[in-house]
Amino acid sequence: MTVKKPLFLFAALLAASAAQADTLAKIKEQGAASMGVRESSGALSYTLGDGKYAGFHVEVCQRVLADIQRSLGMAKLDIKYQPVTSQNRIPLVQNGTVDIECGSTTNNATRQKDVSFAVTTFVEEVRMAVKANSGITAINQLNGKKVATTTGTTSVQLLRRHERAANVNFEEVFGKDHADSFLLLESGRADAFVMDGQILAGNIARSKAPADYRVVGEVLSVEPIAIMMRKDDPKFKTAVDNSIKAMMASGEIGRLYDKWFMQPIAPTNTRVGLPVSDATKAAWASPNDRPVEDYMKK
C-alpha cells in the first residue's frame, strides 16, 4: 500500500518534533514556562482580555510555577500564556508548545494514554439548570420536555445514556456554545440545560435575572478536572504534585477556591456562587490522579 508511506513519514515527523522529556531542565534553560489557558472555562480559567488570563486553575498553576522557580534556584521565571481549545490542548501539550495546561480538562483513561495529569484539584458535577418557576426538580420529570446542552461536550453522551437508563424520552436541543445553550433555556426553547455545575452557576450569575434559575436534580456524572502536562516526565509531575499537595495540606487551596467561586471576580464583578462540593473536598483530603472511570465505578 503506497498510501501508508506518507502517513508513516508524517508520524515520524510528529515523533521528531515531540518535546524533550525533561520539562524542568527546559524551564531552567529557557528561563520561561508556557502555561496553557482557556478563553472561557468558567471561573477555572478565562481571559480578562488584552492577553491576560485568570481563574482558579490559572492561579494554582502560577503558584506551582513559583514553587518550581524557587526549587530550581532561578532568579526570574517568565510565564508565557498560550490560549488552547478543547480540540488542540492535548496535541499542544504533547508537542511541547504548552508545558502545563491549566484549564478545565477532565482526567480520563483515554487521555492518560497521551498525557499525564496532576492530582485532581476540582471535581465537576454535571447537573441541570431550569427556570425556578418550572417546577422541575428531577431528571424523570423531563419526559416530553426539551433539554439543551452544548455541542462538543461529553454531557450530550451522558444525557443519551441517562435517557436510556431512566427510560424517559426528551428532545435534545444543542447550543453551539454554553452562552447559546443558556439562551435556549432563557428564551424558552428548552426546559432544562444540562452541563457542568460551575458553568451553569457562572451562566446563571451573569444572566439578567439570576433568581429566575435553579440548579436542580441528581448529579448525572462527576468528573475529576486536573492540570495537564506531558507524559513520561516523572520529575516534573512530582514537582507539580508536591506543590499542589502542599496547598491542599495547608488549606491554601480552599482559600483560592473561595476567592474564585464565592467572591465577586473580574471582569464583571459577579459571583459564581458555587460552594465547594463534597467530591472536591474529598479530592483535596486524599490527593490522587484517578481518571473519571474510577469515579463512575463507585
Partner 1 sequence: MATWDWQVYCKDTTSGDVITGCFGEGGDFTYLDWLLSAWGWTLSVAVLALIVAMSVGSLMGILRTAPDRRLVFLGNAWTELFRNIPLLVQIFLWYHVVPALVPPLKDFPSFILVVFALGFFTSARISEQVKAGIQSLPNGQRYAGLAVGLTLPQTYRYVLLPMAFRIVIPPLTSESMNIIKNSSVAFAVSIAELTMFAMQAGEETSLNIQMYLTVTLAYFLSAFTINRVMLGVENRVQVPGMIGAK
Residue ranges that bind partner 1, judged by CB under 8 A: 11, 14, 86-87, 110-111, 151-154, 156-157, 160-161, 164, 172-176, 180, 183-184, 187-189
Per DSSP, which regions of 13-153 are E strands?
A: 32-37, 40-41, 45-49, 52-54, 78-83, 100-106, 115-117, 122-131, 146-150
Closest by Cα among 38, 46, 81 to 260: 46
Shortest Å, Cβ 15 to partner 1:
9
Phi and psi of 37, rounded to 5°? -130, 165
d(CA 93, CA 247): 24
Cβ atoms < 10 Å from Cβ of 144: 10
CB of 159 vs partner 1, minimal distance in Å:
10
Specify the residue, 44 or 148, whose C-beta has the smaller distance to partner 1.
Answer: 148
Closer residue to partner 1 (CB): 252 or 294: 294
Supply the minimum distance, in Å, between the C-beta of residue 180 and partner 1: 7
If the CB atoms of residues 156 and 215 are measured against partner 1, the closer one turns out to be 156
Quote the least distance from Cβ 9 to partner 1, whole Å.
12
Q: For residue 218, which amino acid is it?
A: E
| One-letter amino acid for residue 46 of the chain | Y
Q: Show the cell assigned to 68.
A: 518550581
Nearer to partner 1, 4 or 298 (CB): 4
Q: How far is the CB of 175 from partner 1 (least distance, A)?
A: 7
Cβ proximity to partner 1: between 45 and 153 the closer is 153
227 closest CA partner among 155, 150, 283:
283
Q: Which position has the grid cell 468558567?
A: 42
* Nearer to partner 1 among residue 3 and residue 75 (C-beta): 3
Q: Kindly state the cell numbers that stand for 1.
A: 500500500
Smallest gap from residue 141 Cβ to partner 1 (A): 21
